[in-house]
Amino acid sequence: MKVSDSPTLASRYDRDGFVIVPDLLNGKECDRLKTEARRVLDEHAKPGASVHVHVAVVSPLFRTLAEEPRIVTVLKAVMPHGVMFLSDKIVYKSPEKTFPTPWHIDSFYWRNTRPKLSVWIPLDDATAQNGTLTVVPGSHRRDWRIVKMGTPSGEFQYEITDADWRDGDVVTCNIKRGTAIVFSDRLVHGSTANTAGKDRYAIISTYHAPAADEAFDLDFPARKVIVPACAR
Ligand SMILES: O=C(O)CCC(=O)C(=O)O
């Protein structure tokens, strides 16, 4: 991405609450990361888990990914107050783990902390059939207050129950592996079910502006300032 693209990217992010950046990683990089994601799940996740947090804590490859210059260039465009990595997680769907991720906003998971955004990168081509991300453009501008406990797997605890958008408002992100979706922690999003009988690995890395640790941050040992506020 050219630096000259930054204002457009930032204004789209502001307007929609997300931005899609095609082909951020190449196929070879996705293959390597997918193999590493499998290792992390096998060696560190609860048996049968489809979500695993703190990937960068146990994986040098994912730790490097969190600071990948191509990702940081995009983050700098949408984060005017600097960039701090908080944590990352693998979300895995498969022929056995078919569940659609319920509609939610991530800030439900970290109430009363400073704003954050996440970068969602599928390591397999992601389609409506294998559980790609779904987003509601502009939904980050509203308050979504009514929530209930979520999926049967218990891995997503919150779900919006006052959804009033129409099907036509939803963007189903059919994207190639290695494409990134950068989205606000106030954007309503979920995923389709995986009915394709195929794997769908994704890595989600979360960032916020550098600041003194809040109590919430202390649970994330891989947190790290990547772009100090004054370096911009
Ligand atoms: O990868 C997915 O299915 C969606 C994950 C998600 O929405 C999240 O972790 O906030």
For the stretch 141-183, pLDDT in tens is 999 866 766 555 567 788 888 888 998 999 999 999 999 999 9
Token pair belonging to 46: 């609860």
In sequence order, the β-bridge partners of residue 145 are none
Instruction: Domain ranges for the chain, please list them.
Output: 44-224
**How far does the centroid of ligand 1 lie from the alpha carbon of residue 231, in Å?**
31
The pLDDT > 90 percentage for the chain reads: 79
pLDDT of residue 155: 74
Q: Is the pLDDT of residue 232 over 90?
A: no
Rounded mean pLDDT of the chain?
92
Pick from 55, 156, 184 the residue to mutate for probing ligand 1's pocket: most ligand atoms within 8 Å of its CB.
156
Query: CA 104, CA 144: separation in Å to the nearest integer?
Result: 9
Burial class (CB in 10 A: 0-12, 13-18, 19+), 197: exposed
To 5 degrees, how large is the angle CA 23–CA 82–CA 79? 50
In the CATH hierarchy, which top-level class contains the domain 44-224? mainly beta
The model's confidence at residue 41, banded by pLDDT at 50, 70 and 90, is very high
Q: For a ligand 1 pocket test, name from 93, 151, 159, 189 the mutation site with the most ligand atoms within 8 angstroms of its C-beta.
A: 189
Burial of 136 (0-12, 13-18, 19+ CB in 10 A): buried
pTM, rounded to two decimals:
0.94
**101 alpha carbon to ligand 1 midpoint, in Å?**
6
**C-alpha–C-alpha distance, residues 108 and 56, integer Å:** 23
**CB of 116 closer than 6 A to ligand 1?**
no
End-to-end CA gap in the chain: 17
Task: Please give the distance, rounded to the nearest whole angstrom, from the Cα atom of residue 91 to the centre of ligand 1.
Answer: 7
Alpha-carbon distances of 91 from 2, 7, 34, 81, rounded to whole Å: 30, 31, 11, 28
29-65 in b/e form (b: 16+ CB < 10 A) is bbeebbebbeebbeebbeeeebbbbbbbeebebbbeb
State which of 92, 117, 120 you would mutate to test the pocket of ligand 1, scoring each by most atoms of that ligand within 8 A of its C-beta. 120
